[in-house]
Amino acid sequence: MSYLIKPAGYKALLNLPQTEMGIKKIKDFFQQNLSSELRLRRVTAPLFVLKGMGINDDLNGTERAVTFPIKDLGDAKAEIVHSLAKWKRLTLADYQIEEGYGIYTDMNAIRSDEELGNLHSLYVDQWDWELVMSKEQRNVAFLQEIVRRIYAAMVRTEYLVYEMFPQIKPVLPKEIHFIHSEELRLKYPTFTAKEREDAIAKEYGAVFIIGIGAPLGDGKRHDGRAPDYDDWSTVAENGQVGLNGDLLVWDAVLNRSLELSSMGIRVDKEALLRQLAACQAEDRKQLYFHQRLLNGELPQSIGGGIGQSRLCMFYLRKGHIGEIQSSIWPEEMRREARAAGMYLI
């Protein structure tokens, strides 16, 4: 079911031409900073991949990909990408990217199973990035180092927005706060996972929740993750489970947390086999991507996605993602959003 949050007293701080100018400046500036921070080179990304090769991402493990037949390939099926986590790792190998360097893409996707609303659209645009690392860097300390670099680029970008539009005051804290999903559960034992995210993001302004995908102490997962890209099952050097996480900020316009990035150290052979077994998905071992990983043909890597429209929405203090990007929305949502001051493109 679609949803609509109507911020009380909402009024856009920028008109449409200013918004479009802001989007362009934010995207150009942030991707240059991201590239510099992580030593990434830009590569061209696919919009679709062949079905049945295990290259497309299953996200939470349940979303259906948009598919279509290709006449010239005997009606073989192609899938619109969800994201490029596995494709990027293949590309690192094929481009022979050296350790300490990586790639980023301007990724566009269609997620037809999304629940449409202020933060969710059928159309997804994000910077997908992937970095070659060493086996010795498979630890929480390295994960946190990369998160801090990305966050530094976010803080600099927010100041750029302030220079362009002085009415938009910077709100991001200087440092990002880290917490494990099990620690978060214990901190707010009566809250749902979403309520816990809202509470911790409001308290700190910006937070990275580590360990997304494995069952917590109460037997429930903080959130779902597919078994074949992030490593959410390895016991880290601090005794906690998981080498991945989500980056959230506090969105004062919507009065809730806003996830801007999902990322993590990727599965090695052992983690892949363990997670496929845990998710009863061992049949995937025969797929193209999984075979290359199991055969030792893919590098150790860390990677993630950073939502472009969500980032712009946050920086420009917009109440609905449809004020940033053009997509399809229920007509009733368009009418109600307009009445609440949110003009959907």
Q: Residue 220: inside a domain, yes or no?
A: yes
Residues 208-265: tens digit of each pLDDT: 999 999 999 999 999 999 999 999 999 999 999 999 999 999 999 999 999 999 999 9
Q: Residue 173: inside a domain, yes or no?
A: yes
Q: Judge whether residue 49 has pLDDT over 80.
A: yes
Active site residue 221: no
Q: pLDDT value at position 54?
A: 82
Residue of 262, 275, 309, 325 marked catalytic: 262
Q: pLDDT value at position 278?
A: 95
Residue of 111, 256, 266, 310 marked catalytic: 111
Cα separation of 192 and 182, whole Å?
A: 13
Q: Residue 192: inside a domain, yes or no?
A: yes
Give the global pTM.
0.94
Number of domains within the chain: 1
Residue of 259, 291, 292, 334 marked catalytic: 259
Residues 182-211: tens digit of each pLDDT: 999 999 999 999 999 999 999 999 999 999
Q: Judge whether residue 61 has pLDDT over 80.
A: no
The pLDDT confidence band at residue 111, using thresholds 50, 70 and 90, is confident
Dihedral angle over CA of 115, 118, 121, 125, nearest 10: -140
Residue of 31, 35, 121, 126 marked catalytic: 126
Q: Residue 163: inside a domain, yes or no?
A: yes
Q: pLDDT value at position 60?
A: 53
Helix, strand, coil tally for the chain in percent (to 5):
35, 20, 40
Domain extent for 304 = 16-339
Q: Residue 278: inside a domain, yes or no?
A: yes
Which among 209, 205, 139 is positioned nearest to 175, based on CA atoms? 205
Cα separation of 104 and 88, whole Å?
A: 8
Active site residue 308: no
Report, as an integer, the average pLDDT of 19-45.
97
Strands lying side by side in the sheet with 206-210: 40-42, 102-110, 123-132, 301-307, 256-265, 244-251, 206-210, 177-180
Active site residue 111: yes
Which among 121, 124, 178 is positioned nearest to 147, based on CA atoms? 178
In whole numbers, what is the pLDDT of the chain averaged over residues? 95
Across 107-111, 155-159, 167-171, 210-214, least confident range? 107-111
Active site residue 259: yes
Residue of 128, 228, 246, 323 marked catalytic: 246
Active site residue 125: no
Q: pLDDT value at position 62?
A: 60
Using a pLDDT cut of 90, give the percent of the chain over it.
Answer: 90
Q: Judge whether residue 141 has pLDDT over 80.
A: yes
The pLDDT confidence band at residue 1, using thresholds 50, 70 and 90, is confident
Residues 271-313: tens digit of each pLDDT: 999 999 999 999 999 999 999 999 999 999 999 999 999 999 9
Q: Residue 3: inside a domain, yes or no?
A: no
Which among 46, 51, 42 is positioned nearest to 289, based on CA atoms? 51
The pLDDT confidence band at residue 19, using thresholds 50, 70 and 90, is very high
Q: Judge whether residue 52 has pLDDT over 90.
A: no
Q: b or e along 200-214 (b: 16 or more beta carbons within 10 Å of the residue's beta carbon)?
A: bbeebbbbbbbbbbb
Q: Judge whether residue 58 has pLDDT over 80.
A: no
Tokens of 296: 């030792």
CATH code at position 262: 3.30.930.10
Q: Residue 178: inside a domain, yes or no?
A: yes
Active site residue 2: no
Contact 223, 230 (CB under 8 A): no
Q: pLDDT value at position 82?
A: 83
Q: Residue 194: inside a domain, yes or no?
A: yes
